[in-house]
Each structure stands twice: as structure tokens, then as C-alpha cells.
């Protein structure tokens, strides 16, 4: 991580820390940006002696949380604050997520959170979702793979089964596969999200239109912009 990006992450973590009180439960998304934020955030919480519970969305981020001394909590249907990253953010702060494979748990937490905060580098922002070749992850039960691929193609998508470097299919922690699906720039993310989610065999799509939402845009100069929707 560059020194300027570290500076931006630290500043964002301090701002997030101001919104956290003892007894809150944090929902933790997955990925390198969340891990970086969590490292800085945990330091501030220790200094202020703020005790919180955390619900991680992956074994990766659970390991980070445990190393940082955060208590791991069971998910009980709601969380106070979600901290997460994104693969792409459009001009209305709709998101593509799921590059790390944890889209199902991430959407469950965001849908039940009092507040959600997304942190993303400026390169992740575009006027519309699906631009610059960013694909929409679609989590699918293995039995339905071929049927879902055909339906996604009918919707104008180009689905590819996510594979591991050694040539084996990638399986989520829920035991499902992911179809990384390219679409032309998406004019109506909410409609496409609902349509994909209605396909039998689809567990969840990586289009996130959940609001309200706060997004921090990390700039190249070490500063950040706070956006809300």
C-alpha cells in the first residue's frame, strides 16, 4: 500500500471511529480494503477503550478481526454498522460487489444494517455499472449452473464460471459457484438486480442498490471524498 493511500485509510478510519460506541455490532465486509480499514480502526477503538462485537462475512476477514482483537459475534438478524469495499461504484452509488466471493453475506448484513459505509479507490468509480469490463458476480447453486447461464445470456449477459488458478471451479463458503457475468453498461441496476435474483437457482447477485449509503472515495493525493445517497 502506498504511503498516500495509507494516509487516506487512516483518516477514513478515524472518521468511522467517531460513529462507533461501546456495545455496537459491526458487520465486516471482505477484501483488502476492509482489512486495511480494520487495522487502523481497531487501533483507535483500543485507544478509546470502545468494546464492540463484529460479524465477519468471510474466514479471511474473521482472521483479520481476531488478530486485531475484535470480538466475533453471532449474526442475530441486524447489525449497527457495516464497513465494506466495492468492485465498482456508479454515479448514484449503486455497487458491484462479490469479487472476494462473499456477496451473499455482505448483502444480508447491508440489508439489515442501521448504516453502511463503503470505502473504494477512485479507479473503482464509473458513470454506470458494468463499464470497463467489470463483471457482476452471481452466486448460483451448482445444480442450476447451466440453466442460470442460459437465463443470464437471455438478459444480455456473458456468464463465466469463476475458476481457481489450478483450473478448478471456485466455491463460495456457502458451497455455491459464481458466474462472473459481463453486461453492457447497466442503465437500471435496481431492475436488473431484481430480475437476476428472481431466476431459480440464483442465490444472490453482486448488484447492490441498498440505500441509504455512505461512500468514501480515496483519491490519489491521499485525500478522500465523502459521498452519501
Looking at the structure, tell me whether residues 149 and 192 fall in a common domain: yes
Looking at the structure, tell me whether residues 101 and 36 fall in a common domain: yes
pLDDT tens digit sequence for 69-101: 999 999 999 999 999 999 999 999 999 999 999
pLDDT tens digit sequence for 28-71: 999 999 999 999 999 999 999 999 999 999 999 999 999 999 99
pLDDT for res 189: 98
Cβ-Cβ contacts under 8 Å for 115 (sequence gap 6 or more): 19, 80, 81, 82, 212, 214
Alpha-carbon span 132 to 159, nearest angstrom: 16
pLDDT for res 55: 98
pLDDT exceeds cutoff 90 at 16: yes
CB 182 within 8 A of CB 158: yes
Q: Is 54 helix (H, G, I), strand (E, B) or coil?
A: strand
Looking at the structure, tell me whether residues 79 and 148 fall in a common domain: no
Mean pLDDT (the chain) is 96
For residue 186, give the DSSP letter: B
pLDDT exceeds cutoff 90 at 222: no
Question: Considering its fold, how many domains does the chain have in total?
Answer: 2
Looking at the structure, tell me whether residues 86 and 31 fall in a common domain: yes
Residues annotated as catalytic are 106
H-helix or E-strand containing 79? Answer: strand 79-84
Residue 195's domain is classified under what CATH number? 3.30.70.260
pLDDT exceeds cutoff 80 at 1: no
Phi, psi (deg, nearest 5) at residue 119: -120, 125
From 157, 28, 42, select the one nearest 102 (Cα to Cα). 28
Binning pLDDT at 50, 70 and 90, where does residue 123 land? very high
Alpha-carbon span 69 to 107, nearest angstrom: 25
CB 140 within 8 A of CB 177: yes
Looking at the structure, tell me whether residues 115 and 70 fall in a common domain: yes
Looking at the structure, tell me whether residues 118 and 33 fall in a common domain: yes
For residue 52, give the DSSP letter: -
Q: Which residues pair with 200 in a beta bridge?
A: none
- Beta pairing class for 202-205 and 136-140: antiparallel
Alpha-carbon span 10 to 6, nearest angstrom: 6
Q: Give the mean pLDDT of 107-129.
A: 97
Sheet with 95-96, edge to edge strand ranges = 88-89, 95-96, 207-208
- Beta pairing class for 25-28 and 79-84: parallel
Looking at the structure, tell me whether residues 154 and 88 fall in a common domain: no
Looking at the structure, tell me whether residues 201 and 98 fall in a common domain: no
pLDDT for res 89: 98
Alpha-carbon span 209 to 201, nearest angstrom: 21
For residue 127, give the DSSP letter: S
pLDDT exceeds cutoff 80 at 102: yes
Looking at the structure, tell me whether residues 121 and 175 fall in a common domain: no
Looking at the structure, tell me whether residues 170 and 219 fall in a common domain: no
pLDDT exceeds cutoff 80 at 184: yes
Residue 223's domain is classified under what CATH number? 3.40.50.1360
pLDDT for res 2: 84
Looking at the structure, tell me whether residues 61 and 146 fall in a common domain: no
Looking at the structure, tell me whether residues 8 and 116 fall in a common domain: yes
Q: What domain range includes position 186? A: 131-206
Alpha-carbon span 70 to 87, nearest angstrom: 26
pLDDT tens digit sequence for 124-151: 999 999 999 999 999 999 999 999 999 9
Amino acid at each position: 500500500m502506498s504511503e498516500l493511500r495509507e494516509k487516506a485509510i487512516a483518516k477514513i478510519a478515524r472518521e468511522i471511529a467517531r460513529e462507533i460506541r461501546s456495545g455496537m455490532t459491526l458487520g465486516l465486509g471482505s477484501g483488502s480494503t476492509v482489512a486495511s480499514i480494520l487495522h487502523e480502526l481497531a487501533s483507535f477503538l483500543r485507544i478509546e477503550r470502545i468494546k464492540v462485537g463484529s460479524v465477519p462475512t468471510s474466514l479471511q476477514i474473521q482472521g483479520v478481526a481476531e488478530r486485531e482483537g475484535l470480538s466475533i459475534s453471532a449474526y442475530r438478524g441486524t447489525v449497527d454498522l457495516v464497513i465494506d469495499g466495492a468492485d465498482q461504484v456508479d454515479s448514484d452509488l449503486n455497487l458491484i460487489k462479490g469479487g472476494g466471493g462473499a456477496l451473499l453475506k455482505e448483502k444480508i448484513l447491508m440489508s439489515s444494517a442501521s448504516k453502511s459505509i463503503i470505502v473504494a479507490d477512485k479507479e473503482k468509480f464509473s458513470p454506470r455499472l458494468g463499464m470497463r469490463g467489470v463483471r457482476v458476480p452471481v452466486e448460483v447453486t451448482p445444480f442450476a449452473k447451466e440453466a442460470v447461464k442460459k437465463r443470464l445470456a437471455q438478459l444480455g449477459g456473458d456468464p463465466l464460471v469463476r475458476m481457481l488458478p489450478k483450473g478448478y471451479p471456485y466455491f463460495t463458503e456457502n458451497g455455491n459457484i459464481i458466474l462472473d457475468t459481463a453486461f453492457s453498461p447497466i442503465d437500471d441496476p435496481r431492475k436488473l438486480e431484481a430480475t437476476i435474483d428472481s431466476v431459480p437457482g440464483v442465490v444472490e447477485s453482486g448488484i447492490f442498490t441498498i440505500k441509504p449509503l455512505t461512500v468514501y472515495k480515496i483519491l490519489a493525493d491521499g485525500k478522500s471524498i465523502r459521498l452519501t445517497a
